[in-house]
Structure 1
Amino acid sequence: MSSTATVPSPTGRLRARVLVPLAGSLVPAVYFGPHLLAADASQGGFGDQGRLVGAVKEGFVRYWAAGRADYSPELGGVVDYWFRFHLAKAALSALLLAVLVALGVVVWRAFLRSGGARRAGLAVSGVVVGALGLLSLVVAAANVQGAVAPFTSVLTMLPTGTRTGALGGTLEQVRAGLGSPESAPPALAVMIGDNTRYHVTMAVVSAVVAVGFVAVSVLLWRRFTGTADRRARRLLGVFGSLGVGMTLVVLVVGAANVSVAADSARGLSEFFGA
């Protein structure tokens, strides 16, 4: 290898100096930022998980008891808050993903030019960036799903095993209603419809992500066949295989969500233990 092949790219170093701290600031922002961005003057307490779950329980009991399709004020406030939370988290996760993709390209190019201890360090950095990128993708997808169907996302916080008190009685009525949904209260129809939208959303997101993985895999395998550099071929082969594997995983997730969406009432029955 020539001496110039191991000289780090000044442009790459400059990009890394910008992208690394940006990614470092976005990681905690994804965790802490959504509650802050979603809160308003009346809902600041929702940043506390215990209060949020308590509000969900109280709001759901009152919503069911009201016998109407429209959310009760208590539940409506929680659903609105949860929509904003998911929207903020999806946006922050997508931004982090974009930064990590750009950083991954920088690390990839530097790895191909490097040698010795620096090469090993870049390999570790590449693994960390890749893992964080996949995690960011999962978080973004899940929060798009939650933003499209925030009511169903809210319901996942219900302690469905409760058998006593007002919540226990309400859950028992929900289970009974799921046994004959055609004659159930309007609230149940809203729950079934939102649950359908929840799973259809993930099916669509999975399809989009699968197409993305296929496109990346095809690009990587084309480059694999078109290069003679052994180091590059190893990397391209590993990531190309990973892309194929991730495509299969995403397709399985999408198929599972299609199955649940096709019989939303049954999915809710399993969730509530009916």
Structure 2
Amino acid sequence: MKKLILFILAISISFLSFGQQSNSTKLSGIKLEKEQDFSNIPAYVSFFEDHFIDASKMEQIISYLSKDKLIGIIHLDSADDKLNMTHHRYQQSYNNIPIENTQYIFHTKNNKIESMNGCMLSQPDVSGSFSISESTAFQAALDYIKAEKYIFELGPEKQLPGFANYEVPEAIKVYLPENGDPQSNKIRPAYKFDIYAWKPHSRQWIFVDAETGKVVHTENRLFQGDEEGIAHTAYSGVQAITTHNFGNYYSLMEMSRGNGVYTYNCQMTDDYY
């Protein structure tokens, strides 16, 4: 109930600040669907039709609910749907640096906020600083993966679909909630890298603590799966085979048995993609 009161107060102040209707009128127009135990910013809110909020108040709403002046929001994108609604996605920031795994979406129509939902922290507990260099953090990420070869090290193979635009990863400054949990109010500075390995094949977001230099969180970017196919063999006619789908191409490997079954060429290399 305390969080509901805080939210209603924030909305009311927002309207009073811009000369809108009275508190009592606005209080009756707010419908809180779901609170969040870890934050004063609710998970979902909708408004009655005659009390929709002007879309220009999106940032003010979050500012009133956040107790730290360094908290802000970064606009990610806006998308229209077939119902003539526009959905504005924002990510929370601390001192203009994104807070990982936070997001809030404002659902608007005719420049009025009809509802909003997401996951944001109202009072994050920030510790640590960006004290190690980006190059040190990058080496820590590579040491963690321990791949034999990375996509950015490839020669002609790098021109294959999906690889051509991949260069040496650049560090992205973020604040990471503890263990990557969006419901954790404890956040620390981290460098985020998109590490794409050729052998063994993997692609992950690697988060390196910007103070300790330790890898503190990872997220897979490749979601692979075996696919059934057919092969026209030289001596056995048409046979059913299992291939591996990497999203935009297939390769002669399968991951459903043991540690995987890999098919090599006559030179015993894996350059068969």
Which category describes the TM-score, using the shorter chain as reference length? under 0.3
Relative contact order higher in (CA < 8 Å, ≥ 6 apart): 1
The structure whose residues are more often helix, as a share, is 1
**Structure whose alpha-carbon radius of gyration is higher:** 2
The structure whose residues are more often strand, as a share, is 2
* TM-score, scaled to structure 1: 0.23
* TM-score, scaled to structure 2: 0.23
